Amino acid sequence: MRRLAYSVGILVVLALAAPAAALAHDAPESKQSKWVMADWMMDTFFIFSGLALVGFLVAWKAGHFHELDRQGSIPLLVEEEDYYTPEWAEDEEEWDGA
């Protein structure tokens, strides 16, 4: 059993190291190779934007965007101490002089 685990471990390390060895050379400089990075950037943009669109549609179909006005008003119902208004602003005398 130990020999099998050792063999599988060696195979996994070799499988992970093989792509690195293939990419370890200098890329050729040609007209096509100048666009390789741009191609990858466009591909990843379209893949991620497509996944975001699918996620948005799934959320929409699940009803997460229904009654947004009601959902937005929930934080307004939470009673909390006012940390921002200074004490002098709550004095009645300040407002009587105006």
CA 43 to chain centre: 18
- Closest to 81 in 3D by CA, of 71, 90, 70: 90
Q: What range does the domain containing 68 cover?
A: 35-76
Query: Is 97 part of a structural domain of the chain?
Result: no
- The pLDDT of residue 26 is 62
Q: Number of folded domains in the chain?
A: 1
Query: Is 47 part of a structural domain of the chain?
Result: yes
Please report, for residues 22, 24, 71, 73, the alpha-carbon distance to residue 44 in angstroms, rounded to integers and kept in the order given: 22, 23, 34, 37
Query: Is 41 part of a structural domain of the chain?
Result: yes
Q: pLDDT digits over 47-70, tens only?
A: 999 999 999 999 999 988 888 777
Q: Which residues lie closer than 8 Å to 94 by C-beta, 6 or more apart?
A: 88
Task: Provide the whole-model pTM.
Answer: 0.43
Query: Is 56 part of a structural domain of the chain?
Result: yes
Report the C-alpha gap between 98 and 88 in whole angstroms: 15
